């Protein structure tokens, strides 16, 4: 059973919650800046209109030379260069002021209007952007144009906007750092939980999830899982104990029964009807005893204390020994049995006798289910510092629907009912593989038969 890997950093719950919070914070900040900018802009716009209207009423009181002097004086005191004017005669010819031509888009109605360009001025140092302007006729019939540029006055909203943007960016940067720190701790704990669960899935039901001193949601979940594991371990031990006791207790009376049947068989006349029946009964008794031995063997292999006896051994010598052992059997069935191994393989840590038994079961099945004239291959190679062993044949293979079931106890494929057996061989193989924490995959070989791949990957 393979466990899913921890989710990616951007897909974790903490990352999503922090991203949602950041999105809402930035959105609210942008709305706040937009409202503040709009309010300041409207306020300054009204202030500029009011100031221009006050200048209009002020200059409306002067006539003749006094008006010209007042306009020149106001322009001299305008240090920010935001106000300008243009004085024209009755025929709208320029008399004084930077503005030398009445803007064509400015109505002569005495009202304030916004102009997109205020470029009709002699002074090129003045801003050429939009402005508010008003055109009015004086008491002596001349025309006066007053304008106020937005550049200097409306620099205040830009300053406010820049300050808000800086404040927002300085808030986002610590937020990103906090997101990195907050989402790293839960992922670290999830990986620790996954490592513990992998040991439990491998068969170590005594292992438990670690609890921290924080007693947060993950600790609550780990405590619930630990309580469930305690209950499961107790039930499994009870069931296993009952099965082991049954198998152990029945083995002795079955052995006695077989001895008595054998004595009766010896007393019966050879080739008689009673002798043939006794042969069948003894064969059935042997089958029952083999099943009980298989169950006890699996129970013995599921005891993980056997890992304390693991040693390093040469896998290449083990494979050569397997090939030499099964080559006569393959030749007897008229099969081609090949050994394909490299010149050297890294050392492997485990129980050599158990791995021999597991690979022997795989080879025995491959030879048994491959028809005459077929081929069986025992192959091994170096897989990035680990060993990969493959058993391939040209038999009927294992259908994808049955690949997850063939390792269950007493399972037998319907296509193999003509072969002897009682469905415990691959269960023993699975117990040995789980004990070593290796991985066994079932697939299809290039010859159409079964491919069983043993990945002997060990943690360094």
pLDDT in tens, 185-230: 777 777 888 888 877 776 677 778 888 777 777 788 888 888 888 8
Map tokens 């038999």 to a residue: 395
- CA pair distance 339, 376, nearest whole angstrom: 9
The separation between CA 73 and the C-alpha centre of its own chain, rounded to angstroms, equals 74
Is the pLDDT at 126 greater than 50? The verdict is no
Map tokens 């994808």 to a residue: 400
- CA pair distance 113, 121, nearest whole angstrom: 17
Percentage, residues of the chain above pLDDT 70: 76
Tokens of 8: 């990616």
Q: Residue 144 region, left (φ>0) first, then alpha (ψ -120 to 50), else beta?
A: beta
Tokens of 409: 């106890």
Tokens of 56: 């209009």
Sequential DSSP letters for 63-131: -HHHHHHHHHHHHHT-TT--EEEEEE-TT--EEESSB-S--TTS-SSS--EEES----BS-TTS--S-E
Tokens of 167: 């404040």
- CA pair distance 112, 133, nearest whole angstrom: 6
pLDDT band at 390 (very low <50, low <70, confident <90, very high): very high
pLDDT band at 306 (very low <50, low <70, confident <90, very high): low
Q: Residue 97 region, left (φ>0) first, then alpha (ψ -120 to 50), else beta?
A: left
The pLDDT value recorded for residue 349 is: 87
**Average pLDDT of the chain?**
77
Average pLDDT over residues 136-148: 85
Residue of 179, 188, 125 whose CA lies nearest to 152:
125
Residue of 353, 323, 343, 347 whose CA lies nearest to 335:
323
- CA pair distance 34, 26, nearest whole angstrom: 12
The pLDDT value recorded for residue 307 is: 65
The pLDDT value recorded for residue 223 is: 86
Is the pLDDT at 423 greater than 70? The verdict is no
Angle between helices 315-332 and 352-369 (to 10 degrees): 30
The pLDDT value recorded for residue 1 is: 44
pLDDT band at 183 (very low <50, low <70, confident <90, very high): low
Is the pLDDT at 416 greater than 60? The verdict is no
The pLDDT value recorded for residue 263 is: 78
The separation between CA 394 and the C-alpha centre of its own chain, rounded to angstroms, equals 39
Tell me if residue 371 falls in helix, strand or coil: coil
Is the pLDDT at 33 greater than 80? The verdict is no
Map tokens 């040693």 to a residue: 311
Which H, E and C letters describe 320-344, residue by residue?
Answer: HHHHHHHHHHHHHCCCEEEEECCCC
The pLDDT value recorded for residue 10 is: 52
State which H helix or E strand residue 382 sits in: strand 375-383
Higher-pLDDT residue of 300 and 268 is 268
Tell me if residue 135 falls in helix, strand or coil: strand
The pLDDT value recorded for residue 319 is: 92
Higher-pLDDT residue of 64 and 288 is 64
Under a CB-based contact definition with an 8 Å cutoff, are residues 141 and 90 in contact? yes
pLDDT in tens, 285-300: 777 776 666 666 666 6
Percentage, residues of the chain above pLDDT 90: 6
Residue of 292, 298, 297, 296 whose CA lies nearest to 250:
292
């Amino acid at each position: 059973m393979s466990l899913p890997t921890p989710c990616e950093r951007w897909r974790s719950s903490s990352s999503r919650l922090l991203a949602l919070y950041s999105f809402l914070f930035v959105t609210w900040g942008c709305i706040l800046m937009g409202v503040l900018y709009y309010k300041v802009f409207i306020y300054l716009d009204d202030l500029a209109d009011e100031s221009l209207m006050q200048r209009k009423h002020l200059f409306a009181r002067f006539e003749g030379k006094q008006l010209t002097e007042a306009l020149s004086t106001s322009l001299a005191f305008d240090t920010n260069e935001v106000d300008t004017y243009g004085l024209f005669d009755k025929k709208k010819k320029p008399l004084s002021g930077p503005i030398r031509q009445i803007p064509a888009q400015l109505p002569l109605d005495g009202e304030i209007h916004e102009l997109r360009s205020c470029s009709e001025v002699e002074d090129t140092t003045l801003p050429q952007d939009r402005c508010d302007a008003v055109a009015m006729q004086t008491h002596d019939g001349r025309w006066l144009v007053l304008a106020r540029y937005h550049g200097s006055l409306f620099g205040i909203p830009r300053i406010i906007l820049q300050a808000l943007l800086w404040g927002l960016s300085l808030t986002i940067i610590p937020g990103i750092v906090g997101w990195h720190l907050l989402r790293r701790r839960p992922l670290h704990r999830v990986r620790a939980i996954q490592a513990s669960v992998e040991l439990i899935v491998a068969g170590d039901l005594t292992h438990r999830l670690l609890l921290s001193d924080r007693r947060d949601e993950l600790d609550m979940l780990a405590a619930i899982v630990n309580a469930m594991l305690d209950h499961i371990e107790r039930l499994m031990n009870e069931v296993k104990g009952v099965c082991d006791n049954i198998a152990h207790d029945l083995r002795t009376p079955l052995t006695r029964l077989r001895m008595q049947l054998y004595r009766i068989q010896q007393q019966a006349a050879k080739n008689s009807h009673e002798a043939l029946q006794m042969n069948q009964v003894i064969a059935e008794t042997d089958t029952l005893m083999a099943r009980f031995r298989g169950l006890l063997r699996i129970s013995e292999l599921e005891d993980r204390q056997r890992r304390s006896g693991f040693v390093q051994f040469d896998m290449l010598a083990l494979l050569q020994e397997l090939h030499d052992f099964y080559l006569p059997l393959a030749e007897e069935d008229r099969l081609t049995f090949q050994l394909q191994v490299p010149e050297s393989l890294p050392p492997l840590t485990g129980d050599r006798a158990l791995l021999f038994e597991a690979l022997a079961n795989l080879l025995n099945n491959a030879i048994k289910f491959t028809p005459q004239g077929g081929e069986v291959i025992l192959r091994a190679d170096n897989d990035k510092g680990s060993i990969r062993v493959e058993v391939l044949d040209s038999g009927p293979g294992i259908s994808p629907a049955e690949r997850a079931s063939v390792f269950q106890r007493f399972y037998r494929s319907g296509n193999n009912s003509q072969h002897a057996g009682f469905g415990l061989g691959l269960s023993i193989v699975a117990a040995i593989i789980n004990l070593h924490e290796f991985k066994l995959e079932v697939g299809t070989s290039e010859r159409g038969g079964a491919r069983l791949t043993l990945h002997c990957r060990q943690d360094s």
